[in-house]
Amino acid sequence: MSWDELAEAFEAGTVDNAGFTHEKHVHVTRILAERYPRDEALAKLIAGIQGIAGRAGRPGVYHETITRAWFELIAGADDLEKHPELFDKGLLSRYYSTERLAAGRREWLGPDLHPLQLPPPAASKIDIRGVFQRVPTAVAVLAARSGHDVHATTVSSITSVSREPALVSVCLSNESHALDLVRESKTFALSVLAFDQDALAARFGDGDRPAGAAQFDGVPHHLSACGPVIDMATAWIGCGLHDMHQVGDHHLVIGEVRLAEATDRRPLVRHDGAYH
């Protein structure tokens, strides 16, 4: 039997108590509320529920407040699918104390705990990655050296933070080896890649690249006082570690600018998951 057929049987008084579950009650109420003006829908619901109680030989179990409170919630919902809580029989305890509900069997009593409004639908999980793919960014290689260890990683999170003093920030994953090395060396270099250096962006963002100095094999670069710098980059910035804070699954790393140089080479831009 479809929900519509059930609603027709309910109106016709041929539905019995056995098997008239809460789920059916919700759907029938919703259909009545959509088919008829409010007062008529409520009157039909009350008549139907009283009929079920009467046919079960227990007319006294009809409860005015429970019937009407459910009607208000179900009829007021914008979309049943967005409100799974309507299918929870215990929902009225959000609105009524046990005593208040017990007192409302014969006459309608409004709620004593909370107005009869459904909570807003749960927000769907935000696709933060998808949203930020639409935001164009520069692409840089952050490189650091500590003792014999050297490491570079692609980053798209660089931002100018302050002019006086000159500070830049970059966000590094908590698991990133680059973060360990920056912590140790307290210096790092950022090479802002040029439009024709997308292969380097891919290389230093590849988790399978060789470790240590081997990751620079064949990559033209030179060593600055703050760390390795990629040749022919659009700009590069040498930093001393100013501060770092763990923020969620990344560390916000703030560098104090010690060295910086820019060229007029067109920068590489990351947008919509592609390089431009």
Of 41, 49, 155, 193, the residue at the interface with ligand FMN (CB under 6 A) is 155
Q: Which is nearer to ligand FMN, 106 or 266 (CB)?
A: 266
| Distance from C-alpha of 15 to C-alpha of 2, rounded to nearest angstrom | 13
> Which of the stretches 33-41, 54-62, 66-74, 169-177 binds ligand FMN when contact is defined by CB under 6 A?
169-177
Of 29, 176, 187, 197, the residue at the interface with ligand FMN (CB under 6 A) is 176
By the 8 A CB rule, do 53 and 61 touch? yes
Beta strands in 76-175 (DSSP E): 137-138, 140-146, 149-155, 159-162, 167-173
Residue 172 in contact with ligand FMN, rule: CB under 6 A: yes
By the 8 A CB rule, do 168 and 252 touch? no
Q: Which is nearer to ligand FMN, 50 or 157 (CB)?
A: 157
Of 67, 154, 191, 224, the residue at the interface with ligand FMN (CB under 6 A) is 154
Structure tokens at 192: 């802002």
| Distance from C-alpha of 228 to C-alpha of 261, rounded to nearest angstrom | 14
**Residue 242 beta carbon to ligand FMN: minimum distance, rounded to whole angstroms:** 18
Cα angle 189, 242, 239; round to 5: 20
Q: Which amino acid belongs to residue 101?
A: L
Q: Which is nearer to ligand FMN, 153 or 224 (CB)?
A: 153
Residue 157 in contact with ligand FMN, rule: CB under 6 A: yes
| Distance from C-alpha of 186 to C-alpha of 174, rounded to nearest angstrom | 16
> Which of the stretches 52-60, 62-70, 117-125, 165-173 binds ligand FMN when contact is defined by CB under 6 A?
165-173
Q: Which is nearer to ligand FMN, 164 or 175 (CB)?
A: 175
Phi-psi domain of 37 (left: phi exceeds 0; alpha: psi -120 through 50; beta: other)? beta
**Residue 133 beta carbon to ligand FMN: minimum distance, rounded to whole angstroms:** 10
Which of 44, 126, 121 lies closest to 80 in space, CA to CA?
A: 121
**Residue 153 beta carbon to ligand FMN: minimum distance, rounded to whole angstroms:** 4
* Backbone dihedral angles phi then psi of residue 206, each to the nearest 5 degrees: -90, 115
Q: Which is nearer to ligand FMN, 36 or 275 (CB)?
A: 275
The binding site for ligand FMN (CB under 6 A) comprises 139, 153-157, 171-173, 176-178, 201, 205, 207, 270
